[in-house]
Amino acid sequence: MTRILIVDDSATELFRFKEILSSHGYEVLEASNGADGVTLALAEQPDLIIMDVVMPGVNGFQATRHIAHDETTQHIPIILVSTKDQDTDRAWGKQQGAKEYLTKPINEAELLEIIAQYVN
Q: What is the pLDDT along the chain (120 residues), one digit of tens a residue?
A: 999 999 999 999 999 999 999 999 999 999 999 999 999 999 999 999 999 999 999 999 999 999 999 999 999 999 999 999 999 999 999 999 999 999 999 999 999 999 999 996
CATH number of 115's domain: 3.40.50.2300
Domain containing 77 equals: 3-119
Look up the pTM and report it.
Answer: 0.97
Bridge partners (DSSP) of residue 79 are 50, 100
Strand pairing class (48-52; 27-31): unpaired
Task: Identify the three-state secondary structure at position 49.
Answer: strand
Total domains present in the chain? 1
C-alpha span between 75 and 10 (Å, rounded): 26
CB atoms within 10 A of CB 95: 12
